[in-house]
Every structure is written in structure tokens, then in C-alpha cells.
């Protein structure tokens, strides 16, 4: 994204282009007086990006509507049941927020790393590392008083997530190993590691399943309402979004990470220690995904089970971050919208028979179109003035 920073000034159309080139060069048609011309904007106002994103999402809805028609269902029925399941009533709206909680954190995980031009695709693995860290603290220090234990468990999650991300960032800084591939590989590695823990050392005695024992009730995160699973983790996710916004905008590290995101070499000439900044950003990024793991464990599941491997919240976080154009506030909005899709898709499948996997297609199409729109909004169509 950095390469489009420099805007070359555009030649202004000259009237004699018309006289000289008309009729010979087909391209000169574009330069004829009165013709439309596509040209680079000198300045792209941030609000244009928002408009472009909204237009892209509208086109996504049209494409998905056509797809639904092909499957043989009325798109209005499909969208209505999707909306009904996502935000239709108080219960489903609150459940959407429950599902948005980990997505906000993994979205922030991807957003902050991508801002720095560090491609952390390992949110999924760091999420699992966070759950493992939480359980490790719980299992190792059973005697701690409740408030201390909560803090220790969240710290454990953040540290485990950060450490798992740091494996990749150290390899990147020390050996130049492509962090995209190492973080992806580490996802697979920790998936196997978790499977080993759950069927071996940490397996509960009372079940044949691959899962840990249920945690004691004093470790459950408080819930906001009696009739919903919405837990304190949601508030934590919102706070972290604010913290990340502050960190990126108002701190030295934030300046450094934006600088290396635009141009590592220039940042290094300016005195930024690129290696240290990469390590710091990856640690923060991993810690955010780790917190998501703690939130899911302490707020919802209360035991580590197969659901931690299968949820793919880490991957959805990447889509959330990119559709939100890496803005922390946008991450919250997009995470809630995507959680609504996930939540509503179940109802849509029951009501209309469309496979819930439609959500995967929606996410993919939305992401592709948002990316295209982000480039498109840097251009404008201008009508060239008529001379004579």
C-alpha cells in the first residue's frame, strides 16, 4: 500500500493535442476536448475511502444476491433471515456481540502488524497460544485469590501469544525469514501441539474427549446480562481497540511502526531501529490474539476443547482488519458485522437451506471488492474542458 504515496503531477490536456493527433492514434480519443479522462487524484480525502468501502460492500450484496438466486432462493428471503439471525432481536444481537469479541481482538492483531508492514498471518496460532497460556496459569497457580488470578491469567494469555508471535519476528529480524510463511507454519505447529496437550497431559479424566477439565466457577468472566452470554471480554476488546488507536496515533512506537510500514529503509535512515520495532509490533500483535484466546476460554467455553482449533477466528481477524482498512474503530464495526454474518448464517441455513458456508464467500468477495475500491478511490474521472 505504500507504493502509491507519491503522486505524479498530471499533464494538463493541451488543445493542440487534438489537432495534431486526431484520427491517427486511437489513444488520442481520450484526450479530445469534451472526453472523459481517468486521472490520479492529487489528494485522496479519507472520507472517500469510507465511501469507496461502502460502495464495495453494496456491490458485494448484489453479487451475493445473484449467487443466492443461482442456488435457487430469493435473495430477499436469504438476507432477511440472515439479518433476523444476526440483529433481529435482543437475544441474537447480544449473541452477535459475543461472537464479535474475539474478532475485534484478532482484527486488531492483524491491523497493527499490517500497519507496520509486518505480515502476521499467525493470529490463529497466537489465539490458541493465548488459550494455552491462560490454562497454564490456571493449572499451575491454583491457590491465587480471584482478582490476582484473573490478572495473571490474562497476562499469561498475552505473554504466550506474544512469545508465539516473537518466534516468527525473531526469525524475520535475525535471518530475514519470510514472516508470512513462518507465521502460517506456526499455526499448523501449535494446532498439533494443542491436540497433543488435549489428548495427553491436559486431558480431563472424566471424559473420552480431547478436552481439559471444566474450570472452577470463580474463574468465569462476569456477564453483563442474565439472558445473554455477553461477557466482560467484549468490554476488554473495546478498551484494547482504544488503546491500539492511542498507541498508533500518539506514541513514539506508533510513529515508528507507521514509518516502517511506509518505508523500512527511510525509517531506518531517520533513526528508527527497524528490528526492535518489528519485534515490539509482533509481540503486541500476538498478545492481542492471545487475549482473544483468554476471553473465549474464561468467558464462554471454560475448558479448552476442539472448538479452539476449529473456529478460525484468527483468519477472520485478517479479513476484518483489511476490510476495516486497518483502522481500530473500523475493526470494531467490521468485526460486529462479520459476527452478525456468522451468527445469522445458522438461521439462514435452517430457514432457506443455503449452506452457512455462504459467509466464507461473502467475506472473500467483500474483501476483494474493498481492496479494489481502495485503489479506485485514488482516481477520478474528469471531463476535459471543451476548447473552441
Q: Does 182 bind another protein (CB under 8 A)?
A: yes
Q: Does 177 bind another protein (CB under 8 A)?
A: yes
Q: Does 365 bind another protein (CB under 8 A)?
A: yes
User: For the residues of 59-74, what is the DSSP string, one character each?
Assistant: HHHHHHHHHHHHHTS-
Q: What SS3 class is residue 285?
A: helix
In 3D space, the residue among 204, 77, 192 whose CA is nearest the CA of residue 135 turns out to be 204
Among 50, 59, 71, 300, binds another protein (CB under 8 A): 71
d(CA 92, CA 85): 6
Q: How far apart are CB 124 and another protein at their closest, in Å?
A: 12
Q: Please measure the distance between the N-terminal and C-terminal CA atoms of the chain and give it in whole angstroms.
A: 41
Q: Does 63 bind another protein (CB under 8 A)?
A: no
Q: Which residues pair with 380 in a beta bridge?
A: 39
Q: How far apart are CB 228 and another protein at their closest, in Å?
A: 26
d(CA 27, CA 9): 20
User: For the residues of 251-268, what is the DSSP string, one character each?
Assistant: SHHHHHHHHHHH-HHHHH
Q: Does 195 bind another protein (CB under 8 A)?
A: yes
Among 23, 27, 142, 175, binds another protein (CB under 8 A): 175
Please report, as residue ranges, which positions from 109 to 148 form the binding site for another protein (by CB under 8 A).
Answer: 119, 121
Q: What SS3 class is residue 309?
A: helix
Nearer to another protein, 288 or 359 (CB): 359
- In degrees and rounded to multiples of 5, residue 282 shows phi and psi of -65, -35
Q: How far apart are CB 49 and another protein at their closest, in Å?
A: 14
Please report, as residue ranges, which positions from 243 to 302 form the binding site for another protein (by CB under 8 A).
Answer: none
Cβ neighbours around 230 below 10 Å, total: 20
Answer whether 270's CB lies under 8 Å from 259's CB: yes
Q: Does 193 bind another protein (CB under 8 A)?
A: yes
Give the x-and-dash track for 302-331 against another protein (CB under 8 A): -------------x--xx--x---------
Q: Does 55 bind another protein (CB under 8 A)?
A: no
Query: Half-sphere exposure (CA, 13 Å, Cβ side) for 116?
Result: 33
Please report, as residue ranges, which positions from 6 to 25 form the binding site for another protein (by CB under 8 A).
Answer: 6, 8
d(CA 64, CA 291): 33
Among 113, 131, 358, 384, binds another protein (CB under 8 A): 358
Q: Does 178 bind another protein (CB under 8 A)?
A: yes
Q: Where do contacts with another protein occur on this chain (CB under 8 A)?
A: 1, 3-4, 6, 8, 71, 119, 121, 171, 175-178, 180-182, 184-186, 188-189, 191-193, 195-196, 199-200, 315, 318-319, 322, 349, 354-355, 357-361, 363-365, 367-368, 371-372, 374-376
Amino acid at each position: 500500500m505504500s507504493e502509491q504515496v507519491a503522486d505524479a503531477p498530471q499533464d494538463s490536456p493541451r488543445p493542440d493535442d487534438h489537432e495534431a493527433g486526431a484520427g491517427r492514434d486511437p489513444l488520442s480519443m481520450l484526450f479530445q476536448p469534451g472526453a472523459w479522462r481517468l486521472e490520479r487524484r492529487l489528494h485522496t480525502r479519507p472520507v472517500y475511502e469510507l465511501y469507496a468501502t461502502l460502495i464495495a460492500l453494496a456491490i458485494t450484496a448484489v453479487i451475493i444476491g445473484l449467487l443466492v438466486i443461482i442456488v435457487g432462493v430469493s435473495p430477499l428471503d436469504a438476507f432477511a433471515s440472515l439479518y433476523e439471525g444476526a440483529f433481529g432481536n435482543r437475544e441474537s444481537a447480544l449473541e452477535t456481540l459475543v461472537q464479535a469479541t474475539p474478532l475485534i481482538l484478532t482484527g486488531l492483531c492483524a491491523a497493527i502488524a499490517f500497519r507496520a508492514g509486518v505480515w502476521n498471518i499467525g493470529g490463529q496460532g497466537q489465539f490458541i497460544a493465548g488459550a494455552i497460556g491462560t490454562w497454564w496459569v490456571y493449572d499451575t497457580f491454583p491457590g491465587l485469590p480471584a482478582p490476582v488470578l484473573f490478572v495473571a491469567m490474562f497476562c499469561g494469555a498475552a505473554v504466550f501469544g506474544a512469545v508465539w508471535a516473537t518466534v516468527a519476528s525473531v526469525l524475520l529480524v535475525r535471518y530475514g525469514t519470510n514472516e508470512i510463511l513462518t507465521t502460517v507454519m506456526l499455526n499448523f505447529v501449535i494446532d498439533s501441539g494443542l491436540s497433543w496437550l488435549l489428548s495427553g497431559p491436559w486431558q480431563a479424566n472424566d471424559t473420552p474427549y480431547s478436552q481439559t477439565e471444566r474450570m472452577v466457577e470463580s474463574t468465569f468472566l462476569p456477564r453483563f446480562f442474565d439472558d445473554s452470554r455477553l461477557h466482560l471480554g467484549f468490554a476488554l476488546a473495546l478498551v484494547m481497540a482504544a488503546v491500539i488507536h492511542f498507541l498508533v496515533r500518539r506514541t513514539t512506537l506508533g510513529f515508528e511502526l507507521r514509518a516502517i510500514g511506509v518505508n523500512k529503509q527511510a525509517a531506518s535512515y531517520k533513526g528508527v531501529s527497524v528490528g526492535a520495532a518489528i519485534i515490539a509490533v509482533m509481540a503486541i500483535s500476538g498478545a492481542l490474539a492471545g487475549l482473544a484466546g483468554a476471553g473465549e476460554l474464561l468467558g464462554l467455553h471454560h475448558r479448552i476443547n476442539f472448538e479452539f482449533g476449529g473456529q478460525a477466528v484468527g483468519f477472520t481477524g485478517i479479513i476484518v482488519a483489511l476490510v476495516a482498512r486497518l483502522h481500530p474503530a473500523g475493526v470494531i464495526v467490521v468485526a460486529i458485522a462479520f459476527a452478525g454474518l456468522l451468527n445469522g448464517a445458522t438461521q439462514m441455513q435452517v430457514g432457506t437451506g443455503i449452506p452457512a458456508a455462504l459467509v466464507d464467500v461473502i467475506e472473500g468477495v467483500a474483501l476483494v471488492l474493498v481492496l479494489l475500491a481502495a485503489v479506485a478511490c485514488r482516481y477520478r474521472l474528469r471531463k476535459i474542458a471543451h476548447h473552441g
